[in-house]
Amino acid sequence: MRKFQDKVVLITGGSGGIGSTAGKLFAEEGAKVMLVDIDGQTLKETVKEIGEEKASYVVADVSKEDQVKNYVEKTIEKYGKIDVFFNNAGVEGKVKPLDEYPMDEFHKVIDVNVKGAYYGLRYVFPHMKKNGGSIMITSSVAGISGTPNVLPYVTSKHAVNGMMKSAALEGAPYKIRVNTINPSPVDNRMMRSLEEGFAPGQGTNAKEGFEKMIPLGRYATNEEVAKLALFLAGPDSEFITGTINPIDGGMTA
């Protein structure tokens, strides 16, 4: 039997590189997948690629509490339960010194990365209390150390780590496991944005600069991060909860 046969997996950030890849991998392992994102067109294409018999989608802005409540309700209406919640949606924000950072952009990063993650926990938890489950929150190596000129992003990821630890303790009596996934730079859209922010117009040179900070000398792939999500969600990690899980090519060594 496949590892996630008859399981229901809810994924936010479902049109992004990590989220869409995770959706495909969970479906290959037998899961029914609900993808959530603000980008409805890409969600639709991803669901079509996975197969409509295996996946569905809800368009939502995770920074809006009512929309989070709605995507959870839609998942329950469609599939009857939530076994796995990949709380993955996030934004990187701008690259600016802290004393020049636009306040509206600061609030946007916190609203999506912190409030959005909390709203997801808030509305998924009651459903998982019945039968247990696994929750993974996408954090970052920036949630373990610091990085200049992206203070709101770093702040949000440190906050998510603390959120996870408290949620893991509250979830344990109900057999709800909660962990973070903390990637180094991943080869996807977010890093293209950050490369341009840190080194405008430099393209490949900017990427090479980031890669020099990674002992293994390259970015992570979407699939590598998604596979960690599958491990933390699955039966091989049943005694793992409350942990920060770097997947970083040695950056935090």
Return the active site residues.
Answer: 153
How far, in Å, CA of 45 to CA of 42, rounded? 5
> What would the 3-class secondary structure string for 36-77 be?
EECCHHHHHHHHHHHCCCCEEEEECCCCCHHHHHHHHHHHHH
Q: Which helix (H) or strand (E) holds 152?
A: helix 151-171
On whether the CB atoms of residues 10 and 86 are closer than 8 A, the answer is: yes
Contact 118, 89 (CB under 8 A): no
- How far apart are the C-alpha atoms of 146 and 137, rounded to whole Å? 19
Phi and psi (nearest 5°) for 85?
-125, 110
What separation, in Å, do the N-terminal and C-terminal C-alpha atoms of the chain show? 37
DSSP per-residue letters across 239-253: T--S-EEEESTTTT-
